[in-house]
């Protein structure tokens, strides 16, 4: 069974944007979040492709990693010119890595959403000239969310290109303070809050009319959908009882089922996958590891043991990714390509 992993992180020191392991705030935050051995593990692998990454893929049977610039990406860069330049540098670097290993890697573009027009240009260049398979955005951009009308040109270009947007949590100072998390910093990041923030960002797209304006738009969420597949009945019930600032053309669950896909990154739970399949359908579930933040071996073992028919397991392992990202049969054995 071929395996394509969708949420696999990298960083490059060619950027001027503060990033993981480099600037003082990010380093302190990562030291707070990660045990020292895990921090060393990730630090050695986040900018590597040949020494650790490909051998790890080979050991565990991963055919393709879809690479994306790790959080915070370019989303927290306050200088618009630097953000534009860094997105271009990151995407050029990513294209070079893919060209060096064309059967092992694909990629999602970084977008300088600080300037939506520049983001449209970079998205077009990344897909049409560099051969990247879509885009990944690390949370809000300087406090701006993707349902805002300023980003409509970006959605229009994503729709025109037929490529998805992966919405990923962001390693950045919180935009607001949750008092309920006071005294529990372990809950303020990947343990809980990142998923809640990212799921809320996606629901802003639903209630903000993004998918009514752009019916061809597709969004991918990691971590089994950042809680959303398991709340669809609640969304539908409350949407029919609540005074909405903007009336919806469909039930919230219908938007989620028709426009959102999820990956398994960091959630090796058969119960969660079964629930998501019932909620949004087998064609909307894709495999991901979240390398190097998560371990490849347990993720692959989990995939192989999912209690589905082989054809459905293959959809999660590679078929849905090939279809949505336009990967063809990338990652197939040579005799099948």
The 10 Å Cβ neighbour count of residue 118 is 19
Helix/strand number for the chain, H first, E second: 15, 8
Give the pLDDT confidence score for residue 72 in this predicted structure.
86
Element (H, E) at 57: helix 53-60
Span 106-147, pLDDT tens digits = 999 999 999 999 999 999 999 999 999 999 999 999 999 999
Q: Is 71 exposed, middle or buried (0-12, 13-18, 19+ CB in 10 A)?
A: buried
Answer CATH for 4-336 from 3.40.50.740, 3.20.20.140, 3.40.50.620, 3.40.309.10: 3.20.20.140
Give the pLDDT confidence score for residue 154 in this predicted structure.
98
Give the pLDDT confidence score for residue 337 in this predicted structure.
34
Do 77 and 114 form a contact (C-beta atoms < 8 A)? yes
Give the pLDDT confidence score for residue 335 in this predicted structure.
33
Span 12-58, pLDDT tens digits = 988 887 666 566 777 777 777 788 898 899 989 999 999 999 999 99
- Nearest CA among 303, 308, 211, 190 for reference residue 256: 211
In the residue annotation, 290 being an active-site residue is answered as yes
What value does the mean pLDDT of the chain take? 93
Give the pLDDT confidence score for residue 333 in this predicted structure.
43
- In sequence order, the 6+-apart residues with CB closer than 8 A to the CB of 261 are 164, 218, 219, 220, 221, 280, 284, 285, 286, 320, 324
Which residues of the chain have a pLDDT value below 70? 18-23, 172-175, 329-337
- DSSP classification of residue 70: P
Instruction: Check 23, 37, 290, 312 and give the catalytic one.
Output: 290
How is the chain split into domains, by residue range?
4-336
pTM: 0.95
């Amino acid at each position: 069974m071929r395996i394509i992993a969708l949420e696999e992180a990298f960083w490059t020191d060619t950027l001027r944007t503060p990033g993981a392991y480099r600037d003082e705030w990010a380093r302190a935050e990562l030291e707070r979040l990660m045990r020292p051995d895990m921090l060393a593990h990730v630090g050695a692998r986040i900018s590597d492709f040949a020494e650790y990454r490909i051998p790890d893929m080979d050991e565990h049977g991963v055919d393709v990693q879809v690479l994306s610039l790790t959080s915070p990406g370019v989303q927290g860069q306050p200088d618009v010119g630097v953000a534009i330049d860094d997105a271009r540098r990151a995407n050029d670097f990513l294209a070079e890595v893919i060209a060096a290993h064309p059967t092992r890697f694909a990629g999602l573009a970084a977008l300088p959403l600080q300037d939506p027009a520049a983001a449209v240009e970079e998205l077009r260049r990344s897909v049409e000239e560099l051969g990247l398979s879509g885009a990944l955005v690390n949370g809000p951009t300087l406090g701006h969310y993707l349902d805002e009308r300023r980003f409509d040109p970006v959605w229009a270009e994503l729709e025109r290109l037929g490529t998805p947007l992966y919405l990923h949590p962001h390693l950045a100072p919180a935009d607001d303070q949750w008092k309920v998390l006071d005294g529990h910093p372990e809950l303020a990041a990947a343990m809980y809050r990142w998923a809640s923030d990212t799921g809320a960002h996606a629901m802003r797209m639903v209630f903000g009319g993004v998918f009514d304006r752009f019916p061809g738009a597709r969004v991918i969420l990691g971590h089994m959908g950042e809680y959303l597949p398991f709340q669809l009945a609640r969304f539908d019930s409350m949407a029919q009882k609540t005074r909405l600032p903007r009336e919806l053309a469909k039930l919230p669950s219908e938007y989620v089922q028709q426009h959102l896909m999820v990956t398994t990154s960091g959630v090796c739970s058969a119960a969660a996958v079964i629930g998501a399949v019932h909620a949004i359908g087998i064609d909307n579930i894709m495999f991901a590891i979240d390398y190097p933040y998560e371990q490849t071996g347990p993720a692959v073992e989990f995939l192989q043991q999912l209690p589905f028919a082989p054809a459905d397991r293959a959809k999660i392992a590679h078929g849905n990714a090939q279809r949505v990202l336009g990967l063809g049969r990338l990652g197939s054995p040579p005799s099948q390509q």
